């Protein structure tokens, strides 16, 4: 994937310095490029299948609307939407996009209460963009047949990607996600496009205040479910089984309410989007770890480790959701 070609196709101008690789991802590298038009973060991707294009289009629609409404975020190189949203074809089937480089550092989780409150307000701001989610876009959790799952589980055990205990937990998680979705069909069908990945890794704090990064996972989500995901991740919950801090959850909730965010059910159903999203992500990780989407052995091994961490986190959620739900009652 040629960064010089990407910069030219995006209209960024001439490269002035050697580019800096910010994220060494085999499938989707991220670069810092200094050109005669400024400093840019450039992403390059090789889409897999027809599903990628409409997903990218939805994500781009939210990012463009968020920028135009004044959300604190890096400036996109362009807000003109194409068939792949803000991504542009650069040849050989690859796509690229760019945002202004912002100097800063990622906060650690659990974050501070003021930052959590800021993020809660941000969720309300993104909800007001009111980008309707396309129900035909497969960028969300979706069911797979029992036969498919049994085949994938057998393959995962054979390749030593998952242990028998991990498979047992993942099966329980699938059943729980399906039950939660079935119980929340009205909300599930009426979702708007949200960021879906507001974590400390996607926030940058600098002299100008915090900014939100990386809209590439944006897709269908209920705003209240987005708030719950955001609050618990900023409070410290992640794949490594950190215990979230209640005060951070409630600071995020306060910021959301103060910004006019609509509060939903304050019971276990509030975790529907968060839990189903985690199961959906684990499905992708399973495919990657088992080689369904290519990549080197090292790349697949990285996904295998991430998958096992995800399954452990799902086990923790299954136990903790009844207690966590009480934290949402202001």
42 phi and psi angles, rounded to 5 deg: -115, 125
Per-residue model confidence (pLDDT) at position 150: 93
The Cβ of residue 282 has, within 10 Å, a number of other Cβ atoms equal to 25
Per-residue model confidence (pLDDT) at position 144: 83
**Tens of pLDDT, residues 45-69:** 988 777 889 999 999 999 999 999 9
User: Of the ranges 40-49, 147-156, 268-277, 301-310, which one carries the lowest mean pLDDT score?
Assistant: 40-49
Per-residue pLDDT for 255 more than 90? yes
**Tens of pLDDT, residues 301-313:** 999 999 999 999 9
Give dist(CA 160, CA 301) in Å, integer. 10
Per-residue model confidence (pLDDT) at position 229: 97
Q: What is the residue-averaged pLDDT of the chain?
A: 92
The residues, any chain, with a CB within 8 Å of residue 269's CB and separated by 6 or more, are 180, 183, 184
Q: Are 68 and 79 in contact (CB under 8 A)?
A: yes
What's the rounded mean pLDDT across residues 23-44? Answer: 91
Tallying the residues shown for the chain, one arrives at: 330
**Tens of pLDDT, residues 312-322:** 999 999 999 99
Q: pTM of the full predicted structure?
A: 0.93
**Tens of pLDDT, residues 200-241:** 999 999 888 999 999 999 999 999 999 999 999 999 998 677
Confidence tier at 81 by pLDDT (50, 70, 90): very high
Confidence tier at 145 by pLDDT (50, 70, 90): confident
Per-residue pLDDT for 27 more than 80? no
- Provide, rounded to the nearest whole percent, the portion of the chain with pLDDT above 70: 98
Q: Write down all domains in the chain, each with its CATH number in brackets.
A: 3-100 (3.30.200.20), 113-326 (3.90.1200.10)
280 phi and psi angles, rounded to 5 deg: -65, -40
When comparing pLDDT for 4 and 71, which is higher? Answer: 71
Please give the C-alpha separations between residue 229 and each of 116, 195, 203, 295, in angstroms, as whole numbers. Answer: 12, 11, 15, 30
What's the rounded mean pLDDT across residues 195-199? Answer: 96
Per-residue model confidence (pLDDT) at position 47: 86
The Cβ of residue 254 has, within 10 Å, a number of other Cβ atoms equal to 16
Sheet order of strands, 38-45 included: 20-23, 30-35, 38-45, 94-100, 88-91
Per-residue model confidence (pLDDT) at position 242: 79
User: Of the ranges 128-142, 222-236, 278-292, which one carries the lowest mean pLDDT score?
Assistant: 128-142
Confidence tier at 5 by pLDDT (50, 70, 90): confident
Tokens found for residue 281: 């992500």
Per-residue model confidence (pLDDT) at position 187: 80
Per-residue model confidence (pLDDT) at position 1: 58
Q: Using CA of residue 139, residue 145, residue 150, residue 155, what is the dihedral sign?
A: negative
Cis preceding linkage at 261, omega within 30: no
Per-residue pLDDT for 171 more than 80? yes
Per-residue model confidence (pLDDT) at position 128: 97
């Amino acid at each position: 994937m040629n960064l010089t070609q990407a910069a030219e196709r995006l209209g960024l101008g001439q490269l002035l310095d050697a580019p800096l690789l910010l994220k060494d991802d085999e499938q989707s590298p991220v670069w810092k490029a200094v050109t005669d038009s400024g400093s840019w973060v450039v992403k390059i991707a090789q889409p897999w299948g027809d599903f990628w294009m409409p997903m990218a289009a939805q994500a781009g629609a939210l990012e463009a609307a968020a920028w135009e409404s004044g959300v604190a975020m890096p400036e996109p190189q362009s807000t003109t939407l194409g068939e792949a949203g803000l991504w542009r074809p650069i040849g050989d089937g690859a796509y690229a996009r760019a945002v202004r480089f912002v100097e800063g550092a990622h906060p650690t989780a659990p974050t501070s209460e003021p930052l959590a409150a800021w993020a809660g307000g941000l969720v309300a701001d993104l909800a007001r963009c009111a980008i309707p989610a396309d129900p035909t876009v497969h960028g969300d959790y979706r069911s797979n047949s029992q036969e498919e799952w049994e085949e994938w589980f057998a393959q995962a055990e054979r390749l030593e990607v998952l242990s028998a205990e991990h498979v047992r937990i993942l099966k329980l998680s699938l059943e729980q996600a399906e039950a939660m979705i079935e119980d929340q069909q009205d909300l599930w069908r009426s979702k708007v496009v949200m960021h879906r990945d507001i974590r400390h890794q996607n926030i940058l704090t600098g002299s100008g205040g915090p900014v939100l990064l990386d809209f590439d996972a944006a897709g269908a989500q209920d705003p209240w479910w987005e708030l719950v995901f955001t609050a618990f991740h900023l409070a410290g919950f992640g794949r490594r089984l950190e215990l979230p801090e209640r005060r951070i959850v409630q600071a995020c909730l306060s910021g959301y309410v103060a910004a006019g965010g609509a509060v939903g059910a304050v019971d276990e159903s509030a975790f529907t989007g968060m839990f189903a999203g985690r199961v959906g992500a684990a499905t992708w990780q399973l495919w990657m770890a088992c080689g369904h989407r290519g990549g080197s052995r090292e790349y697949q091994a990285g996904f295998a480790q991430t998958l096992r961490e995800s399954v452990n986190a799902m086990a923790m959620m299954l136990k903790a959701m009844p207690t966590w739900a009480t934290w949402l009652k202001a």
